[in-house]
Amino acid sequence: MSGILPWVAFNAAVLAVLAIDLGLFNRKAHDVSVREAATWSAVWITLALAFAGWVFYAHGHHAGMEFIAGYLIEYSLSVDNIFVIVLIFTYFGIRGEYQHRVLFWGIIGALIMRGAMIALGATLIERFHWITYAFGAFLVITGLRMLRHDDASVDPDSNPVVRLVRRLIPVAGDYHGQKFFISGMDAAGRVRWMATPLFIVLVVIETMDLVFAVDSIPAVFAVTRKPFIVYTSNVAAILGLRSLYFLLAGAVTKFRYLRLGLAIILAFVGVKMLLAAHYPIPTLASLGVIVGVLAATAIASVIAARRDPNGTPQGPITPA
């Protein structure tokens, strides 16, 4: 994983797949069906597993297990994002056929931001070893706080980034299909570019992802210190977020114990990071804990829903 070639090859492959996705399969705005979302989810998971196979082959069993553990952590925490995305789209009244475009460009921005954050995190860990204890403590506290949060709502109008965008860029009053920018006349009769409300939605989703990344990236650093593994596992999980959203958006709130599961996972990886110097937890054991917790909370949620169909579903999880 040393050298620049693996990084260039991986990012080139990601850009090629995204170009095919947007340019060939999703050129026209349309409602994404559950069947289409399931197909794309299978495609993204298959690609992630294929890359994991290459990691096993090229860099050994330990690196391969680290990739899978990092991928599972990020993929499970991505479900957290879906709650908030549902609220954002509902708040702004975004029609189904335009949601895919927003999520596509949102993921492009997320890849860039997370790449920068991973590079910064790797540099901090390499130069200041004590930062691992700070990351570990932060994850434990985040897990505990997640358990105490009540159902939360998202108020995009209070987002400081959104307020800044509205000050810097004129915003049109109405949506214009799937366009993020349009040209129009201002109050003085001058022709100028204006952002559409759809661009504001994109800004909100980007800032929310940035907040969630503060939790998820240190969590992946708990299972591996290799920047390439952290980055590729993050990217592989994020690429599947759009299809996962369309697949689960209508049912995700029924998993009433998901908050408990994610809180346990965050606290566990935080403890793992705190103990790494003296009592390292094997990657295989970490993988077993993550899979076991996700399976247990999913099964418990299904059983609870059957016993009490009218029970209060779980609301969104707000980052600590």
pLDDT of residue 244: 81
Instruction: Give yes or no for residue 184 having a pLDDT over 90.
Output: no
Average pLDDT over residues 274-280: 76
pLDDT of residue 319: 42
Confidence tier at 68 by pLDDT (50, 70, 90): very high
The alpha carbon of residue 288 and the mean position of all alpha carbons in its chain are separated, in whole angstroms, by 22
pLDDT of residue 53: 94
Q: What phi and psi, each to the nearest 5 degrees, are found at residue 165?
A: -60, -45
Instruction: Give yes or no for residue 208 having a pLDDT over 60.
Output: yes
> Which ranges of 3-60 does DSSP label H, i.e. alpha helix?
5-20, 34-59
Q: Which residue has the higher pLDDT, 36 or 212?
A: 36
d(Cα 100, Cα 245) in Å, to the nearest integer? Answer: 10
Mean pLDDT of the chain: 78
Instruction: Give yes or no for residue 96 having a pLDDT over 60.
Output: yes
Confidence tier at 26 by pLDDT (50, 70, 90): low
Confidence tier at 110 by pLDDT (50, 70, 90): confident
| Highest mean predicted confidence (pLDDT) among 74-78, 100-104, 170-174, 227-231 | 227-231
Percentage, residues of the chain above pLDDT 90: 8
pLDDT of residue 317: 44
Q: Are the beta carbons of 314 and 255 closer than 8 angstroms?
A: yes
d(Cα 212, Cα 81) in Å, to the nearest integer? Answer: 7
In sequence order, which residues have a C-beta less than 8 Å from that of residue 252 and are 6 or more positions away? 79, 82, 83, 86, 258
Instruction: Give yes or no for residue 116 having a pLDDT over 70.
Output: yes
What are the b/e assignments for 89-99, b being 16+ CB within 10 Å? beeeebeeebb
pLDDT of residue 189: 66
Average pLDDT over residues 198-210: 84
d(Cα 160, Cα 291) in Å, to the nearest integer? Answer: 37
pLDDT of residue 167: 80
Torsion angle in degrees (nearest 10) through CA of 147, 153, 154, 159: -80
Q: Are the beta carbons of 122 and 230 closer than 8 angstroms?
A: yes
Q: What is the three-class DSSP state of 151?
A: coil
Cα atoms in the Cβ-side hemisphere of radius 13 Å centred on 186: 10
pLDDT of residue 207: 81
Q: State how far the alpha carbon of 293 is from the alpha carbons of 71, 139, 234, 259, in Å.
A: 15, 17, 20, 11
Extract the tokens encoding 2: 């040393």
Instruction: Give yes or no for residue 28 having a pLDDT over 90.
Output: no
Q: Which residue has the higher pLDDT, 273 or 200?
A: 200
Confidence tier at 155 by pLDDT (50, 70, 90): low
Q: What is the model's pTM?
A: 0.72
Extract the tokens encoding 313: 């579903």
